[in-house]
Amino acid sequence: MEEISIGRTIAPSVTVFGITTALALVLTNAADIDGSGLPAGYVIPAIGVSIFSIVIWMALALITMAVGGVRSPGRVIVSQLSRHAEMLLLPTLIQPLFFAAFTAAKTSIAPLVSFTWDGFYTRFDAAIFGGDPWRLTHAAIGPIGSLGLEFFYTAVWGVSLVFVQAFMAIYATRRAAGTFFLALNLTWLVGGILLAYVTPAAGPVFAHLFDPALSGRFAELRSALALYPEGPVFQTQDYLADMLGKRIAEEGGGISAMPSMHVATAMIYVLAARRTRWFWPAIVFTVLTCIGSVHFGYHYAVDGLVAIAIAGLCWRGAEMWFGRSKSVDAPEPGIAGRAT
């Protein structure tokens, strides 16, 4: 396919960012939520990630060129830096600002519409699985397995979110990168904001805070998670619950179960990794994310199913906009990197 410009690559994602920001401003104003501190909290770490990612790219490129006997590797790298710098505008600035707007909108769900669908999703899960799915995962995985899954769901998933975006900007073709970022942002807008406001649910571990009738239903789950009070899951859930009564939006704040953005994002990875060596790792990543979202009580199982469907539809829309991209990691002239 023909080369596409940097403007055409980033414009759709910037448009979705603009829509999300406008929605966030309206919602936070209606909910009287202060989200003014969010942009810096997301952008500053993103700058560090992008710089570190460029350093990794340069190191790998130098090694590749040294092995391949490329002359003047430094000159080749310098010639490519401007191209990478253009694409890194997405993960360094646009994406963190998008996530800041998303967090503000998500934080406004509780004061604006509350959470009224937990009973429905609880019954839906029970109808499919013959009971609560989290009981199945806790019985199958056990306490030791839970610790490993906790590390994945918090540390591995979080690190992947920021570095996958940076490396997509560096290594992917412009068409592939444009498709990825547009699909990701559409998924978070459609699923994480629009659907979250239409069918608001807090999630099993928070349901008792909004629906006393479900307190006993998930008491055993909360007790199981409380066995590791110093763990990142319990600490995060305590942080999220504490933020519910405040009129301020902070990084990573806000709760919403339907649909699971953890699962939706993982599904975007799978779709981006098709026809590459990263496909099966992405599949494993998604399966573990689905299990973790239920196991730790953030989501109902149906949340993950809906998330996968939304991610697929948004990916298809982004793919139609940009056209099919053959590869995520096509070679770059002189270096293992990007092409269009």
The 10s digit of each residue's pLDDT in 70-111 is 777 777 777 777 777 888 999 999 999 999 999 999 999 999
| The pLDDT value given to residue 340 | 38
Q: What is the pLDDT of residues 47-65, one digit of tens each?
A: 999 999 999 988 888 888 8
Contact 284, 149 (CB under 8 A): no
Is 336's pLDDT higher than 60?
no
Candidate ranges 29-33, 55-59, 141-145, 170-174; pick with highest mean pLDDT: 29-33
Q: What is the DSSP letter of 201?
A: -
At 240, is the pLDDT very low, low, confident or very high (cuts 50, 70, 90)? Answer: very high
| The pLDDT value given to residue 324 | 65
At 338, is the pLDDT very low, low, confident or very high (cuts 50, 70, 90)? Answer: very low
Contact 51, 170 (CB under 8 A): no
Is 12's pLDDT higher than 70?
yes
| The pLDDT value given to residue 100 | 98
Q: What is the pLDDT of residues 250-264, one digit of tens each?
A: 999 999 999 999 999
Is 228's pLDDT higher than 80?
yes
Residue in this structure with the two tokens 């990825």, named with its chain if needed = 180
Contact 94, 184 (CB under 8 A): no
| The pLDDT value given to residue 334 | 39
At 325, is the pLDDT very low, low, confident or very high (cuts 50, 70, 90)? Answer: low
Task: Please state the rounded mean pLDDT for residues 39-44.
Answer: 95
Contacts of 157-164 with C-beta under 8 Å, sequence gap 24+, read 157/262, 157/266, 157/289, 157/292, 160/269, 160/285, 161/265, 162/45, 162/46, 162/49, 162/91, 163/49, 163/53, 164/269
Is 2's pLDDT higher than 90?
no
Please state, in angstroms and rounded to a whole number, the distance separating the CA atoms of residues 68 and 89. Answer: 30
Give the residue, 310 or 62, on which the prediction is more confident. Answer: 310
At 66, is the pLDDT very low, low, confident or very high (cuts 50, 70, 90)? Answer: confident
Domain residue spans in the chain?
6-322
- Strand partners of residue 332: 335
The one-letter amino acid code at 251 reads: E
| The pLDDT value given to residue 256 | 96
Contact 80, 337 (CB under 8 A): yes
Is 117's pLDDT higher than 60?
yes
Please state, in angstroms and rounded to a whole number, the distance separating the CA atoms of residues 328 and 173. Answer: 6
Task: Please state the rounded mean pLDDT for residues 188-200.
Answer: 98
Q: How far is CA 170 from CA 52, 301, 328, in A?
A: 12, 34, 10
